[in-house]
A and B are shown apart, each in its own frame.
Chain A
Amino acid sequence: GAVVSQHPSWVICKSGTSVKIECRSLDFQATTMFWYRQFPKQSLMLMATSNEGSKATYEQGVEKDKFLINHASLTLSTLTVTSAHPEDSSFYICSARRLVDEKLFFGSGTQLSVL
């Protein structure tokens, strides 16, 4: 089956630093990738839609200068949490839409803890 690799799976950082999360489709091409955030006991919230070669589309209330998204190739999208603060601590999940049939596949998620 199609695999989406998300790295790192767990990261702890100091307040004020930046953290980059990678989302790779290992065996398929994905023109569109999605980034979600999940707070404990809450739903997955869509943060942004990332399209290869163009600017990401952010959901209302998501700061694009804080959550930088880059989708430079058909197999890689990155989310950079800039100047992280404790309130950014959350579980971040990416998904990739397979080009050939538009099926969605999810990464394993990244638990971010900001101290």
Chain B
Amino acid sequence: AQSVSQHNHHVILSEAASLELGCNYSYGGTVNLFWYVQYPGQHLQLLLKYFSGDPLVKGIKGFEAEFIKSKFSFNLRKPSVQWSDTAEYFCAVNDYNTDKLIFGTGTRLQVFP
């Protein structure tokens, strides 16, 4: 069965620090990859996605993620975080064959001013 691993459960950073959240998936077939964000008290929102093409994907609010097929990874990055980035971040994988969206356990990011 497919699975998604997010290694960092809780990350604490100061403003302007750089961010990298890890995401690995276990599936050898064709996948679509997503990062979702859930700000406190709000809905899940799509941050960025990878379907095909350039493996470096740029999303909203300065986030980007790089798909490295050989490592089954899709890490999320931001060069300089802001206090407003405090949220829960979920990596997800969509399996072409089953059309299911499988989520990682999430990473809670806290950014202090």
Residues of A participating in the B interface, judged by any CB pair closer than 8 Å: 4, 34, 36, 41-46, 49, 93, 95, 103-104, 106-109
Structural contact, A108 and B101, CB atoms closer than 8 A: no
CB distance from B42 to the nearest CB of A (A): 7
Contact A108 B99, CB 8 Å, known A43-B105, A44-B90 = no
> Among the listed B42, B44, B101, B106, which residue makes an inter-chain contact with A46, where contact means beta carbons less than 8 Å apart?
B101
Note all chain B residues with C-beta closer than 8 A to A36: 103
The size class of the interface chain B forms with chain A is 10 to 19
Structural contact, A104 and B101, CB atoms closer than 8 A: yes
Count: A-B pairs, CB below 8 Å: 34
CB distance from A107 to the nearest CB of B (A): 7
- Asked if B100 is at the interface (CB within 8 A of a chain A CB), the reply is yes
- Asked if B22 is at the interface (CB within 8 A of a chain A CB), the reply is no
CB nearest to B44 among chain A residues: A106
- Asked if B46 is at the interface (CB within 8 A of a chain A CB), the reply is yes
